[in-house]
Structure 1
Amino acid sequence: MLDEFVKDKFERPIISLRITITNRCNVNCLYCHHDGMVTSREEMTANELYTICKIAKKLGVQKIRLSGGEPLIRKDIVEIVEKINSLGFKDISMTSNGILLEKYAQGLKDAGLNRINVSLDTLNRETYEFITRKDYLESAKAGILKAVEVGLYPVKINMVIMKDINQNEVKDMFEFCKENNMVLQLIELIESENCDDDKFSADYHYKLDMIEERLADIADDVHERKFMQGRKKYYIDGGEIEVVRPVDNSTFCANCSRLRITPDGKIKPCLLRNDNLVELISHIRAGESEEELTKIFIDGINNREPFNQ
């Protein structure tokens, strides 16, 4: 099966492509890092995104994830999904904050979106407003439930764990997810570009070791997702909790099968690095051939290195 994929120089297959389609957002979460990129209002068009995905498909990529910012801010979001879906990918997913999801869920499902991850760090209104600086909790919850209703399955809830903010809310969020047939995904906080990194990490970073040890103790079963950064999924009392730990985690890098595209159209080989980007969008806009664009894509893949190396 792995022979179907293009591989980097460390023999890691490139299975998925995550594309940041906008840096715009309707909230301002205190930990947002914009994938480490300088914010810009310039965005790739639906046709340009189609071209990028077409090259990725040619190289064997099977999965596309659309992210932001908030991707549902784009007025052409349904068109974008339709165009990508026409290429025949195995899976098209999206990461959203859920605020506009009630409006768009059915249209996205009809356009070919398979599933969605929704960022929701708390069910507490005051905590939600502290994290996002907005009062959209009920809109986000309505969007999440609409996604479940229309069959964007599985709906995953992305919960970034922060010290002294929400580390004690995991049980409540798990119950919410289990009751609504959703998967809870716990995410370790990484440094933010929004504030002083050292102070930010000291104030809010919470290592997930103790939580994961507890999950291992009570889980009915544990599954390791080898080609999703070695993440572990814990099955507990009919529910699922997945743990994402990109910080100081060599297993995460060693098993990474994802390439990224920045909102300004550069290939981003590694999540935690910005010193090895490869320019792509200007070549598309210059009308270069698919053969030349494929070579550029391969250059980006060849720039991939384990973060801790």
Structure 2
Amino acid sequence: MIVDRQGRRFRNLRISLTAACNYACTYCVPDGKRLVAAQDELSAPAMVRGVAYLIEAAGIERLRITGGEPLVSPKLEPFLREVGTLGLADISLTTNGQLLARKLPLLLDSGVRRLNVSLDTLDSAAFRRIARGGDLATVLDGLQQAHAAGMKIKLNMVPLRGVNHDQVLPMLDYCLEHGFELRFIELMRMGHLAREGQTFQQQFYGMSALLETIGECHTFVQAEAPVDATALRYEIPGQGFFGIIANQSVPFCRTCSRLRLSSTGWLHGCLSSSNRHYVGDLLDKPRHQALPALQRLLVQALADKQELAFSGGVTVMKIIGG
């Protein structure tokens, strides 16, 4: 077991199945171009071996599949079929929901029961301006089908001042009505936003503003959350829950247990660090050769974590998922 001086270790793995995406969200992609898969992306079998080795080397317990957009990848089916046999405590998936209805049978057959769906507005015109791709009605239909099939669903919203902050209450009310849990994610100073400080400051809509807005219409109390949770969780008694991932306002670096594996074979121990560690070449090696080398890289990746707070990073979020 690899543990740092703050008692942190890697429990949760987020694996970017592909960098390809059918959206080009403004806070993720500055140039408006949809993303394509990298030429050197790992194969599905290599990714499965990567997860298996990380379970053994780091003690990974839970897996979240991200992208880009994982539902566009032809690797999704073979990856799900094999990774489900590795004995993980939980396998979940983050998606923009555009292909959710089409891929729902595959997800259900593969044992995926938890989804995080990125949705920033219920206004169709604002949806097109932010996502620069896709169709809102298709996403909402996929959500209803997944909910009817018994999926546990959280919606992820990035509130942006002057862009969609007027959707905070409509999104919350929609989620309370439909039994979804809404997670507000504070804008992160990453990629182009790490360089464009003025844009970040203009659009940042943080925790205090969110709670003030919600408090105008709802009474809420803070709720329990796991010690290594990224979100502060709140309950609106008798109606439901919402959360705020307040990476700027209330940093959670002290308890972070997340490790990320990119689609091209790079380990990222911290979103706020430009350090990364290549493991793609290890995934073709036999276990007895791969594990010792992997453990050495994991020690370095754990040391990349911030001591106190997220300070921003040049790493582009689209490369390593959410």
Normalised by the length of structure 2, the TM-score is 0.84
In structure 2, how many angstroms separate the alpha carbons of the residues matched to 1:263 and 1:220?
39
In structure 2, how many angstroms separate the alpha carbons of the residues matched to 1:286 and 1:45?
15
- State whether structure 2 residue 293 is matched by structure 1 residue 292: yes
Which one of the candidate residues 26, 29, 37 is aligned to 2:22?
26
Q: Where does residue 17 of structure 1 map in the other structure? A: 13
Structure 1: stretches of 5+ with no match in the other structure: none
- Counterparts of 1:75-154 in structure 2, within 5 Å, are 75-153=74-152
Contact kept, 8 Å, 2:44 with 2:79, in 1: the verdict is yes
C-alpha change, 1:122 and 1:200, in structure 2 (3 Å) is same
- State whether structure 2 residue 15 is matched by structure 1 residue 7: no
How far is the alpha carbon of 1:194 from its aligned partner? 4.7
In structure 2, how many angstroms separate the alpha carbons of the residues matched to 1:83 and 1:302?
31
- Counterparts of 1:1-309 in structure 2, within 5 Å, are 6-32=2-28, 41=38, 42-58=40-56, 59-153=58-152, 155-194=153-192, 197-212=196-211, 218-229=219-230, 231-236=231-236, 237-247=238-248, 249-250=250-251, 252-274=252-274, 276-285=275-284, 288-306=289-307, 308=309
Of structures 1 and 2, the one scoring higher in RCO (CA 8 A, sep 6+) is 2
Moved more, 136-145 or 84-93: 136-145
How far is the alpha carbon of 1:10 from its aligned partner? 2.0
In structure 2, how many angstroms separate the alpha carbons of the residues matched to 1:284 and 1:9?
29
C-alpha change, 1:282 and 1:307, in structure 2 (3 Å) is farther
In structure 2, how many angstroms separate the alpha carbons of the residues matched to 1:223 and 1:192?
29
Q: Residue 223 of structure 2: SS of its match in structure 1?
A: strand
Q: Residue 223 of structure 1: SS of its match in structure 2?
A: coil
Contact kept, 8 Å, 2:22 with 2:134, in 1: the verdict is no
How far is the alpha carbon of 1:6 from its aligned partner? 4.1
In structure 2, how many angstroms separate the alpha carbons of the residues matched to 1:6 and 1:238?
41
Contact kept, 8 Å, 2:23 with 2:134, in 1: the verdict is no
Q: Residue 168 of structure 1: SS of its match in structure 2?
A: helix
In structure 2, how many angstroms separate the alpha carbons of the residues matched to 1:94 and 1:82?
14
How far is the alpha carbon of 1:71 from its aligned partner? 0.5
Normalised by the length of structure 1, the TM-score is 0.88
Aligned AA for 2:182? Answer: L
Contact kept, 8 Å, 2:259 with 2:268, in 1: the verdict is yes
Contact kept, 8 Å, 2:233 with 2:243, in 1: the verdict is yes
How many percent identity over aligned positions? 26
Q: Which aligned runs of 4 or more in structure 1 are off by greater than 4 angstroms?
A: 213-217
How far is the alpha carbon of 1:213 from its aligned partner? 5.1
Structure 2: stretches of 5+ with no match in the other structure: 312-322
Moved more, 264-273 or 92-101: 264-273
In structure 1, how many angstroms separate the alpha carbons of the residues matched to 2:43 and 2:127?
32
In structure 1, how many angstroms separate the alpha carbons of the residues matched to 2:28 and 2:249?
19
In structure 1, how many angstroms separate the alpha carbons of the residues matched to 2:299 and 2:50?
13
Contact kept, 8 Å, 2:99 with 2:142, in 1: the verdict is yes
Q: Residue 10 of structure 1: SS of its match in structure 2?
A: coil
Q: Residue 51 of structure 2: SS of its match in structure 1?
A: helix
Q: Deviations for 1:171-222, whole angstroms, at most 9, x for unmatched residues?
A: 2111211222111000101135356522321332222223235657821552
Q: Deviations for 1:25-74, whole angstroms, at most 9, x for unmatched residues?
A: 0010000169xxx9861321111111111122223211001111100011
